[in-house]
Amino acid sequence: PARRPSRVLPKTTPSFSSSTFSVAFSSTTSRSPIAIAISRPHPPTTTIHLGLLQFLALPPPQSSINSASGAEDSHSPDTGGLGCKRGFVEALAFGRHCRRRPPSPPGPPCIPGFLHFLGPVVIASREEGEGTAGCSEDLPSADRRLRRCGVTLSCLSSPRSMEECGGGPPLKSEGLAAGEPRTPPPGSHSGCSDNGAGVGGRRHDVGSQNYQHSPLQHYYSQRLPDFLQSVNLKYVKLGYHYLITHLLTLLLVPVMVVILLEAGRTSPDDLHKLWLGLQYNLVGILVCSAFLVFGATVYCMSRPRPVYLIDHACYRAPDHLQVSHSKFVKHSRLSGAFSDSAMEFQYKILERSGLGDETYLPEAIHQVPPRPSMAAAREEAEMVMFGALDILFRNTGVRPKDIGVLVVNCSLFNPTPSLSAMIINKYKLRGNIRSFNLGGMGCSAGVIAIDLAKDLLQVHGGTYAVVVSTENITQNLYFGNRKSMLIPNCLFRVGGAAVLLSNHRADRRRAKYRLVHVVRTHRGADDKAFHCVFQEQDETDRVGVSLSKDLMAIAGVALKTNITTLGPLVLPISEQLLFFATLVVKKLFNNKVKPYIPDFKLAFEHFCIHAGGRAVIDELEKNLQLRPIHVEASRMTLHRFGNTSSSSIWYELSYIEAKGRIQRGHRIWQISFGSGFKCNSAVWQAFRTVKPSPDNPWHDCIHRYPVELVDGVSQHLDQQ
């Protein structure tokens, strides 16, 4: 027969009209639901659902108490008691039902006292013959503990049903004489008694009847976690951050409520009086209006023009220019320019550098022997710059004639005419374009070029600016044996990026990001910082770039200075207060106090750290307390493309876009280091959820990343 719809009854002294029903309840301290089914010989007639059976908290009904002396147990609508009459009790783990069994001889009385602590109870009917194939799950340990005390939630009807439920043999309950105490099974806890008192339970006095909470309650109470010990302080700090950040809003709420209440009490007579007052003070109103208009005009004119990033493009060289570790070592040996110790040193550096086997070197270096001529260097520059610009113009739809500002940066290759002139000649840019060529500024020149373009866009309105960042490898590979000058051979690879900026307010709708801050730090006044990255000749007059052993320490000082300047601009007020308090304590009381490192994860969602090498990324991850996902883009860019100098931060941004991680409002921190010594930061904010651009350099390989690196060597590729 079809089920009848459920109906909700009051929670006070419920009565039951069904003859067969099941009780399912769950405890707030237990992870899995427990169900009790009390079956009667005849089929059910209705279905009852209750939110809470309060009668379970009542003492056992008198009928249950008297059943120990041979009286027949029953339940009464008046008392709401729960009894067992010629039925059997089945424990159903995880909400499954045992097969129905014929009624068994009268067993021990049901003791509702152990149900006192249980929470919501749902009573539902079970149709005749309804059920599953049997209870195959093992009963929980709490059930077994109850069985020792003479109270069981498992199938008590027969040995067969008990075996199907996995609970072992049933308790011996038949043949009890009137007044004969029930004997618990061997090995049961000494604290168990026939009245349902559990181990360590709390005893209640109800008339002459005493009973305790069940061992189930005691069992779970011992497993409750200590909340105070489990509180993670980082969440307390996060709550403090939210409180401080929204403190002004919280303070303004009551003020706005008061204003609205006062405005609601304003009568039409009050408004009429205000209008009359304004008519008699016309001169004052005009003066105030003039001041307001003047102030608004000055504010609008003094506001800096917004700088939008329309799109960016990164160049990926053709596959025939890829160089694996083995190919690099083989060609280096065939060149005959390196000693055995120099080759061994380069091999060790290459294996631990974090570079993969798919990086690129220019055509001239692939030849044996290499031919680093000026013509080959120009070909490399044109290949990279024109390749990136072609992608940029194609994706944005901007005509080259619309470009008003051009900034090109390349540290080691500065021919005449300049690289910017090569671009103007190639794309026939207009004659009044403001072009700049930045050289010798190292790997941080990309952010410097962005800063220069930003300043020019503040002055010249309604125009576009293009920034091209690249490096040239052809004439700058070192063919000598000084170890400090061999490291760049193992790290630097071919790459370049082109970025389109705009100050058109109409471009806000299609722009990806808005430039928020640019912070530049220069440590050139310090001699060690000035010489830590230095282009020079070795003993054999071979030119190369030497890297000092103090590079990481100097980079750390430059980074500290940079983030100290950047912090107040981007960090929430809570982090600034903590930093200031720690600084005051350190200065006034104890110089040994560990300085507080602000949590920049509260200020930025994404980090583009210059992929200068594995050691640089490791140090920033440690010092800034970043998680692996925050430096994933830097590590994967280093692995796939190598150190592409100033353009590496744009390959990293392309990686994050290809992963689909940038959402509206997300903030991106680009940080780069360069010779001098310089540390520069750029902060961008996303206007929308950013999708990868066409011809993204990661478009056909992003599914293979991230790769797992052990000591800089890739182990396997994760399919994502």
Which positions are annotated as active-site residues? 443, 522, 606, 610, 639, 643
Q: In this structure, what token pair is assigned to residue 379?
A: 């070909």
Classified as helix, coil or strand, 265 is: coil
In the block, tokens 């550096």 appear at: 349
Residue 630 in contact with residue 607, Cβ under 8 Å? yes
Residue 80 in contact with residue 15, Cβ under 8 Å? yes
- C-alpha span between 502 and 425 (Å, rounded): 22
- C-alpha span between 641 and 648 (Å, rounded): 8
Nearest to 574 by CA among 252, 250, 251, 247: 247
Nearest to 642 by CA among 423, 187, 178, 324: 324
Please name the amino acid found at residue 414: N
Please name the amino acid found at residue 211: Y
Q: What backbone torsions phi and psi does residue 121 show, to the nearest 5 degrees?
A: -125, 135
Residue 119 in contact with residue 111, Cβ under 8 Å? no
Length of the chain, in residues: 720
The DSSP code for 643 is B
Measured in Å, how far apart are the chain's first and last C-alpha atoms?
51
Q: In this structure, what token pair is assigned to residue 399?
A: 């005509």
- C-alpha span between 436 and 419 (Å, rounded): 9
Residue 25 in contact with residue 35, Cβ under 8 Å? yes
Nearest to 674 by CA among 314, 380, 409: 409
Q: In this structure, what token pair is assigned to residue 583?
A: 């600084």
* Helix (H), strand (E), coil (C) string for 215-247: HHHHHHHCCCCCHHHHCCHHHHHHHHHHHHHCH
User: What count of other Cβ atoms lies within 10 Å of the Cβ of residue 572?
Assistant: 16
Please name the amino acid found at residue 409: N
Which helix (H) or strand (E) element contains residue 386?
helix 374-396
- Counting DSSP H helices and E strands in the chain, the numbers are 22, 23
What does the angle CA 445 – CA 674 – CA 543 come to, to the nearest 5 degrees? 100
Contacts 24+ apart (CB under 8 A), 703-711: 705/636, 705/640, 705/655, 706/632, 706/635, 706/636, 707/356, 707/636, 707/639, 709/354, 709/614, 709/635, 709/639, 711/351, 711/352
User: What count of other Cβ atoms lies within 10 Å of the Cβ of residue 115?
Assistant: 23
**Ramachandran class of 101: left when φ > 0, alpha when ψ lies in -120 to 50, beta otherwise:** beta
